[in-house]
Each structure stands twice: as structure tokens, then as C-alpha cells.
Amino acid sequence: MFFSAQISAFQLKPNQDKSITDKRLFISYHPNGKIKQKGYQGNYSGYGISTGMSLGTWYIYDKNGKLIETVYYHNDKPTKAYILKKTYYPNGNVKSIKRFNNYQLYQAEIDSIGTWSYFDERGNLIRIEKYR
């Protein structure tokens, strides 16, 4: 069985260019009751768009409660919006860091951007990939 909960948070003050409103904490659970993922959802408007979406950093856990991934949503202009994904080894060290265009925000194809970094289990950088 899959559980989820939504908790109202607070309304952020808009600035001149963009605003985030109706921000709510979303938490889903594994069948064993451990948190599966948590993060904020809300309405983002600015730069000619207005939509409900993921905001800030989301945390994804395995069924034992270990952090396996974080996903940061940077909502901005089309040329500056991005998603940063970090995956983790069971020992807690970063496994990879990848950056994508914010395809959710602008309904675009998923494109790899920037520098992707891969690490071994001890945290040593082992590979870099560069994208435009």
C-alpha cells in the first residue's frame, strides 16, 4: 500500500519578477511506513508561466530510510531554470551529480546540461561529463 500526505506550509512573499504561492510539504511513504520522498510543491508564476510544481530540494529514501537521491528544482527563466540531481551510496557519500534543464517548468525535453560528476564510494572524483 502507498501512503502520501500533504501539509500546508506558508505563503511566500512575491518579488518583482516571479512568485511562489501555496507552498505545501508533500510526503509519501513506503509500505513499511518509512518515508519514501518528501519535498515542497506549490504554484510558481513568472516569466510568462504559471503552474503548480515541485519547489526547492526533494529527498528520496530507500525502504530502510537511507537517503538515495536529492533533486533540487531551480525555477527561473528558460535559460536559467535547471534541476540538479544527486545520488548517494549506501555509506552516504555522493555517487553522482547531474544537471538537467527544468523540463517540468517549460514542458521541454529532458536535456543534460553543465558538468556531470561521478564519484567512487570513498568520495573520489572518477569521471566528468560536460554538456552544453
Domain boundaries of the chain, sorted by first residue: 3-131
Task: Give the position of cell 526547492.
Answer: 56
Q: Which residues, 6+ apart, have CB-to-CB distance to 71 below 8 Å?
A: 39, 54, 57, 58, 60, 83, 84, 85, 86
CB-CB contact of 100 with 72 (8 Å): no
Please give the chain's pLDDT, 132 residues, in tens.
444 444 333 333 334 445 556 678 889 999 999 999 999 887 666 655 555 677 789 999 999 999 999 999 877 666 677 889 999 999 999 999 999 877 655 555 567 788 999 999 999 999 999 987
Residue in 73, 92, 87 with CA at minimum distance from that of residue 118: 87
Fold classification of 3-131 is Outer Surface Protein A; domain 3 (3.90.930)
Model confidence, pTM: 0.73
Q: Which amino acid is at 36?
A: K
pLDDT given for residue 125 in this prediction? 98
pLDDT given for residue 25 in this prediction? 87
